[in-house]
Amino acid sequence: MSEALEPGAAIGILGGGQLGRMLSVAASRLGLRTHIYDPGAEPPAGHVAETVTTAEWDDEVALRAFAGSVDVITYEFENIPAATLDLLESLRPVRPNRRALAVSQDRLTEKDFLTGLGLTTAPYRDVPTLAALEAALAEIGPQGILKTRRLGYDGKGQARLKGPGDAATAYAEMGGAEAILEGFVQFSHEVSVIAARGVTGEVACFDPGENLHEAGILRTTTVPARLAPGQHMDAILLAGKILNALDYVGVMGVELFVTPKGLVVNEIAPRVHNSGHWTQAGCTVDQFEQHIRAVAGWPLGNGQRYADVVMENLIGEDVAKVPALAKAADVQIHLYGKGAPRPGRKMGHVNRITRG
Amino acid sequence: MSEALEPGAAIGILGGGQLGRMLSVAASRLGLRTHIYDPGAEPPAGHVAETVTTAEWDDEVALRAFAGSVDVITYEFENIPAATLDLLESLRPVRPNRRALAVSQDRLTEKDFLTGLGLTTAPYRDVPTLAALEAALAEIGPQGILKTRRLGYDGKGQARLKGPGDAATAYAEMGGAEAILEGFVQFSHEVSVIAARGVTGEVACFDPGENLHEAGILRTTTVPARLAPGQHMDAILLAGKILNALDYVGVMGVELFVTPKGLVVNEIAPRVHNSGHWTQAGCTVDQFEQHIRAVAGWPLGNGQRYADVVMENLIGEDVAKVPALAKAADVQIHLYGKGAPRPGRKMGHVNRITRG
């Protein structure tokens, strides 16, 4: 553990939402302090962090003070402005590294990277113009999803095309943002692998979880996922390949479509991932601690699963179910300390242990 | 859940050591904020609490501000000055209640309370004078432990008597503090029950754990404990009896000696307890969340055990073992964020899952 942070060292976390909150708790278990940087007032992670800085991403004074107070910097979301990273990288190690962010911030770069590794993705085309979109539809099929290359999540910045006639409307919806067309993949279900890589290059994967989305937002993750033994191994090898290619340090979420022809990579997220929350109930070391271990230069923990778990997100008014859930046996509650519920707002999640 | 705190409410915690730290983390899972009050600078719990007040126990201004900022008050240790409690009780609910503190702050009151419930304790005598000590030794046997009635923990404020000739020296060691003599109990091993009682009177107990002490400090707790089925039930019923008699709200640690003639109550602690740390690795809801649920007026969680666990304290220089422990499978690490290790200082603990 030559590079390992000693107890008492501090980890800076960019973003203070629920992921930062649970990362901060995990850091505390390892005797590490956390400093949250978030432009929003009263970030949820602030309730369990030693220090909170509320400042904009371009506030150089605040960024310098933040970096000066910590030993390593990580993040809970991938859309950190490039100039912010330029400054922070010059002051402290930022993990996962810049390349992982560059790849995952841009859907086109991401797809090029993944196919370059020999992995299968949905068919896709760069569509810088409406004419390019029309040509792409002619090539990869009349249906697909037009997505902005950058800054989309939870179904935002996306337009579904049911036929060539939708092209102009969908293109207009992008509002001039660079976009790519993704063809549809015929898949039976989606799984994700939460994979971790340490500073020495060791890789550890949690068991794949099976994801169910509603309206573009993750609803549940179930372990074990429905996967043939060969697919289970494929999923893990594929995740390891991605992490190694990026010289990645930290936890990554890798979303996969399960098809009769094999696994298709949907997208990667260079951070702890909503589909990995089940690890809090089913493993000795959860994804949050695994990420902290990695970025702190510790050895990775044992991610072996010892329980069957269904993770269910509490979205918007779902929080009204908490009093009933609190009475249920085998339900672990995780609330994020957010204010008023709004439609689509992730307020918490529960891990239901279905076989311990 | 008529009395239940809503998410966003705040819990005040008196004492910011490792117990307050882990209580604060548990509160965050339920969407509750915490405010730590501790006279010492930089308390470990401050790393994971929203607010920290550093002030003395007699600082009325600070105590009022603290109470005004929270919805309910609890504590991580039992030796809170009476005047502090008088003030806080007048401002906010304090849970567990005053009676539980009064009983556990004074070994004589505690023993009288327990025997009054029909439970067995070590033989004991109030020894206000050296003559009373000599008379007590004549009555309950020539060997025993002289203990101050108040403020002893981890083997401090105690003198062992090997025969009547030790009486004068032992009495002098108490330095004039009120003391009781406890006779020896012939026991095979010690177990403890971590029991919880909610505001509606419901009681839930975790499985008894078997404790091993060294030099008066808890070294390991192992679940399951060695107990005959009848003793297992006795332990739980006995703990429930104590909680009900005190109209208790919160988690209590009940230490028991296992003897051929049955269970003997060693002592009770009106708080989360070191011997309950294993619940972090073996249960859906751990002792810290159970305590928070109780004091917040939530229903108690399911404390059923699904793993065999050995909890081991990391005391003083034991922290040097952390790099090796971090590599071990099935070991969950919990460090307390304290500074330099000192002999006898509890720096952290590990939960080793021996059967998942």
DSSP class per residue in A134-159: HHHHHHH-S-EEEEESSS--TTTTEE
Average pLDDT estimate for B258-273: 96
CATH of the domain at B228: 3.30.470.20
Mutation target among B3, B54, B332 for the A interface, most CBs of A within 10 A: B332
Same domain (yes/no): A219, A339: yes
Average pLDDT estimate for B221-235: 95
Confidence of residue B1 (pLDDT cuts 50, 70, 90): very low
pLDDT exceeds 90 at position B333: yes
Write out chain B in H/E/C secondary structure.
CCCCCCCCCEEEEECCCHHHHHHHHHHHHECCEEEEEECCCCCHHHHHCCEEEECCCCCHHHHHHHHHCCCEEEECCCCCCHHHHHHHHCCCCECCCHHHHHHHHCHHHHHHHHHHCCCCECCEEECCCHHHHHHHHHHHCCCEEEEECCCCCCCCCEEEECCHHHHHHHHHHCCCCCEEEEECCCCCEEEEEEEEECCCCCEEECCCEEEEEECCEEEEEEECCCCCHHHHHHHHHHHHHHHHHCCCCEEEEEEEEEECCEEEEEEEECCCCHHHCCHHHHECCCHHHHHHHHHCCCCCCCCCECCEEEEEEEEHHHHHHHHHHHHCCCEEEEECCCCCCCCCCEEEEEEEEEEC
Mutation target among B23, B199, B284 for the A interface, most CBs of A within 10 A: B284
Average pLDDT estimate for B168-197: 94
> Is the bond into B96 cis (omega within 30 degrees of 0)?
yes
Average pLDDT estimate for A237-257: 98
Which of B25, B304, B336 lies closest to A31 in CB terms?
B336
Which two tokens mark A293? 């271990």
- Number of structural domains in chain B: 3
Of A209-218, B158-167, B218-227, the one with minimum mean pLDDT is: B158-167
**A329 at the B interface (CB within 8 A)?**
yes
Check residue A46 and give its pLDDT. Answer: 96
pLDDT exceeds 50 at position A1: no
Q: How many CB pairs under 8 A join A and B?
A: 118
pLDDT exceeds 80 at position B135: yes
Residue A160's domain comprises 123-183
pLDDT exceeds 90 at position B303: no
Q: Are strands B189-197 and B203-205 parallel, antiparallel or unpaired?
A: antiparallel
Helix axes B82-89, B98-105, angle to 10 degrees: 170
Same domain (yes/no): B88, B48: yes
Last residue of a domain, one of B183, B207, B222: B183
Which of B7, B306, B335 lies closest to A29 in CB terms?
B335
Domain-located, residue B118: no
The Cα–Cα gap between A301 and A293 comes to 8
Contact A336, B31 (CB under 8 A): yes
Confidence of residue A269 (pLDDT cuts 50, 70, 90): very high
Mutation target among B29, B52, B289, B330 for the A interface, most CBs of A within 10 A: B29
CATH of the domain at B147: 3.30.1490.20
Which residue shows structure tokens 């030559």? A2
Same domain (yes/no): B311, B326: yes
Check residue B165 and give its pLDDT. Answer: 87
Domain-located, residue B3: no
Q: Do B353 and A24 touch (CB under 8 A)?
A: no
Q: What percent of chain B has pLDDT over 90?
A: 86
Smallest CA-to-CA distance from A303 within A289, A321, A292, A322 is with: A289
Minimal CA separation from B292 to chain A, in Å: 12
3-state class of A274 per DSSP? helix
Domain-located, residue B203: yes
Same domain (yes/no): B285, B315: yes
**A11 at the B interface (CB within 8 A)?**
no
Domain-located, residue A337: yes
pLDDT tens digits along A142-183: 899 999 998 755 556 889 999 888 999 999 988 888 999 999
**B307 at the A interface (CB within 8 A)?**
yes
Torsion angle in degrees (nearest 10) through CA of A13, A14, A18, A23? -20
Domain-located, residue B104: no
Does A267 show up as a binding residue in the annotation?
yes
Minimal CA separation from B28 to chain A, in Å: 7
Average pLDDT estimate for A51-56: 98
**A314 at the B interface (CB within 8 A)?**
no
